[in-house]
Amino acid sequence: MNELQVNTQLLQAFEQGLDPQNPERGNIPARVLGYGEISTVFEIQVDELRGLAFKRLPLFYNAQEVDRYRVVYEEYNRLLTDEVGLRLPSHNHATLVGASGRPIFYIIQRQLDYASFGHHALHILPREQVPRLVMCILRELRKVWDYSRRQSRVQIGIDGQISNWAIDGFDPEHPHLGEDTRLFYVDTSTPLMRVDGVEQLDTELFLRSAPSFLVWVLRLFFLKDVVDRYYDLRLVAIDLVANFYKEQRPDLIPDAIGVVNRFFADEAADLGIQPIDEQTVRSYYREDALIWSLYLVMRKVDRFIRRRLLHRGYPYILPEHIKR
C-alpha cells in the first residue's frame, strides 16, 4: 500500500472539536468535498492536513467491530491494486475516539483535482469524448470480474458509478482523453468481497446510519438487493449510466448505452451479458433516486428527534439537499 503519513494527533483534535451539523465551524474547520448516500468526504483546513481527503465512518460500537472492518478494508485495497490491477490514490486510515467514546474510522486519500472526477468531467469534456470515458471505466470494471473468474474462492464487488473514478493528469483547460488515459478508483469504503461465498464485510454496518424505525424495513426488503448489485457487472453498468441523470446529463445517456452494449457484445462477449436499454436505465434510476431521497428525509427526521427531542448527539454529516 502506498501509505500517506498523517498526523493522527492533529486528526484526533479535529474529531474532538467536530460538530457534524456544522463541520466548517469547528475549532479546526473542514470543507465538504462531496456527499455520498451514507458518508461524507471533506478537507480539513489546517496546513499539515491540506491536500488530503477524509471520509469519516462513525459506524462502530466498539474496538472489535472497527478492527474487523479494518482487516477487510485493508485486504480489499490490496486485492484491488495487487491482484485486480486498479489504481488507487495514495491512502491510509486511522481509528480515533469520538466524543461519545466510540471508535471513528477515517479513510484518508491524497486529494485529486476536482475536475478530474468523472461526474465533473462530464460537464467539461467534448461530447464526443464522453463515450471514451465510459469505455475506460468499463475496461477497469472488467478487471474486477476477470480476477473473480481466474480463481473460484474470492469474489469482489465494486461500486462503479461515475463519481468514483478520476482521470489521471486531467487538464480542464484542454479536456481530452487519449488511448493511454488512466483512471483512479476512489471508493474503497465499502469493501465488498466474498470468500467461498461468504460476505467478509458486516453488511449490517450499512444500517447503522439509518433511523431505528427504518432498520427492519431496510434489512428485510433492500439490504441484500443493494449488496448483490455490486457483484453483477450488468447492474454495475446500468448504475454507471443511470448516474448521468443525477449529474444532469441525460442527453449523454443514449451514447453511453451504446458504448456499454458494444462492450458487452465485443470485449466482454465471453461473459454473456445481456444488453441494456434506455427504459431499463430510466426505471432503475427512478427507483434508486426515490429510495435514497426518502432515506435522506428519514435521516433528517431521525436527526431532529435525537437532537431536539432527546437532546442527544447525531454523529453523521448530512447534506441539506442532493440534486437528482
In a domain, 321, yes or no: no
Contacts of 269 (CB under 8 A, 6+ apart): none
Q: Report how many helices (DSSP H) and strands (DSSP E) the chain contains, helices first.
A: 9, 10
Residues 10-58: tens digit of each pLDDT: 999 999 998 888 888 888 999 989 887 677 899 999 999 999 999 999 8
In this structure, the dihedral spanned by the alpha carbons of residues 299, 300, 303 and 307, taken in order and rounded to 10 degrees, is -170
Q: Rounded mean pLDDT of the chain?
A: 91
**Is the pLDDT reported for residue 217 higher than 90?**
no
> What residue type is 46 in one-letter code?
V
Residues 89-147: tens digit of each pLDDT: 999 999 999 888 899 999 999 999 999 999 999 999 999 999 999 999 999 999 999 99
Question: Are 289 and 145 part of one and the same domain?
Answer: yes
In a domain, 52, yes or no: yes
> What residue type is 8 in one-letter code?
T
Q: Which pLDDT belongs to residue 1? A: 46
- How large a percentage of the chain has pLDDT more than 70? 98
> Which of 47-61, 170-184, 217-231, 256-270 has the lowest average pLDDT?
217-231
Grid cell in block for residue 164: 468514483
Total domain count, the chain:
2
Domain enclosing residue 99, as ranges: 8-110
Question: Are 199 and 262 part of one and the same domain?
Answer: yes
Question: Are 225 and 286 part of one and the same domain?
Answer: yes
Residue after which a domain boundary falls, among 54, 77, 110: 110
Q: Could you give the angle at the alpha carbon of 15 between the alpha carbons of 12 and 20, nearest 5°?
A: 175
Q: Which pLDDT belongs to residue 324? A: 65
> Which of 11-25, 73-87, 201-215 has the lowest average pLDDT?
201-215
- Band (pLDDT 50/70/90 cuts) for residue 267 is very high
Residue after which a domain boundary falls, among 53, 78, 110: 110
3-state secondary structure (DSSP) of residue 11: helix
Please report, for the domain that includes residue 52, its CATH number.
3.30.200.20
In a domain, 227, yes or no: yes
Question: Are 267 and 249 part of one and the same domain?
Answer: yes
Question: Are 60 and 181 part of one and the same domain?
Answer: no
Q: Could you give the CA distance from residue 120 to residue 243 in angstroms, rounded to a whole number? A: 12
Class of residue 174 by CB neighbours under 10 A (exposed 0-12, middle 13-18, buried 19+): exposed
**Is the pLDDT reported for residue 153 higher than 70?**
yes
Could you tell me how far CA 157 lies from the centroid of its own chain?
12
In a domain, 78, yes or no: yes
In a domain, 316, yes or no: no
- Band (pLDDT 50/70/90 cuts) for residue 321 is low
